[in-house]
Amino acid sequence: MTQEEFIKKLKREDYSYEIEGDKIVVTHEGDASLYGLTSLPLGVVFKNEGSVSLNALTSLPPGVEFKNGGYVSLNDLKSLPPGVEFSNEGSVSLNALTSLPPGVEFKNGGPVSLVSLTSIPPVVVFSNEGSVSLGSLTSLPPGVEFKNKGYVYLDDLTSLPPGVVFRNEGTVILNSLTSLPPGVEFKNKGDVYLESLIGGWFQDWKGNIEGIEGRRLLNSMIKQGIFER
């Protein structure tokens, strides 16, 4: 799609926009629902005050920016270009995406849903304000950081690399994990679910020793390699 074709689409939908250099900035005061759109031109910036729905889109060109005031729904998207940053104020739904390119950043103000993701590059940082759902992921590379403000859902994950630190402000769900390498640390502010490893969630772990704070004990045992199989 050319920029001229995209502008015609915005006019048909009565969505306001501005031209800033080589960028088309969507400034509509409400939601931008572009359900039938199958492609976008280069240089589109969403700064509308509501959500962005692009559920027929299967790929994004480089340089698209999401700075809108609501959620971003891209549920048919099959690929992302490197370096995409989500800075919108709501959730991000990428439920058909199976892999992430390097340099993607999640700084949005709500949950991130990546339920079909089967691989993830190193050094991805989740800094969003809500949960992170990665329910199809079976392994993590080194360097992934969870700094989000909600739970981390990794229910199909069967292995972790050494040195992963969970710093999220909610629960961590790792129910398929059967071993923990040294150096993994749980510094999250919620529960830790390790059903296959300890038979329950963190507060129910029968390995706790009376008088020792459970998280410190678990982290110490991980560092010592007690859980490595």
Residue 21: predicted pLDDT: 96
Q: What pLDDT, on the 0 to 100 scale, is given for residue 213? A: 61
The structure tokens listed for 226 are 């007690």
| Residue 214 φ then ψ, to 5° | -60, -40
Q: Indicate the residue type of 148.
A: N
Token output for 123: 């050094």
CA dist list (Å): 26 to 35, 40, 158, 163, 228:
16, 13, 42, 42, 52
- Say yes or no to pLDDT of 204 above 70: no
pLDDT digits (tens, 9 = 90+) for 124-182: 889 999 999 999 998 888 878 899 999 999 999 998 888 788 899 999 999 998 888 88
- Average the pLDDT over 185-203 and give the result: 84
- Average of per-residue pLDDT values in the chain: 88
What is this structure's pTM? 0.85
Hey, which bits of the chain come out as E strands?
17-20, 23-26, 32-33, 44-46, 52-53, 65-66, 72-73, 85-86, 92-93, 105-106, 112-113, 125-126, 132-133, 145-146, 152-153, 165-166, 172-173, 185-186, 192-194, 200-201
Contact in structure between 203 and 191 (CB atoms under 8 Å): yes
- Is the pLDDT at 95 greater than 80, yes or no? yes
Mean pLDDT of 23-51: 95
Q: What percent of the chain has pLDDT over 90?
A: 58
Name the DSSP class of 99: B
Alpha-carbon dihedral 53, 59, 63, 67, rounded to 10 degrees = 20
Pairwise CA distance, residues 113 & 148, whole Å: 13
pLDDT of residue 203: 60
DSSP-derived letter for residue 170 is: S
Length of the chain: 229
Q: How confident is the model at residue 212 (pLDDT cuts 50, 70, 90)?
A: very low
Q: What is the pLDDT of residue 228?
A: 60
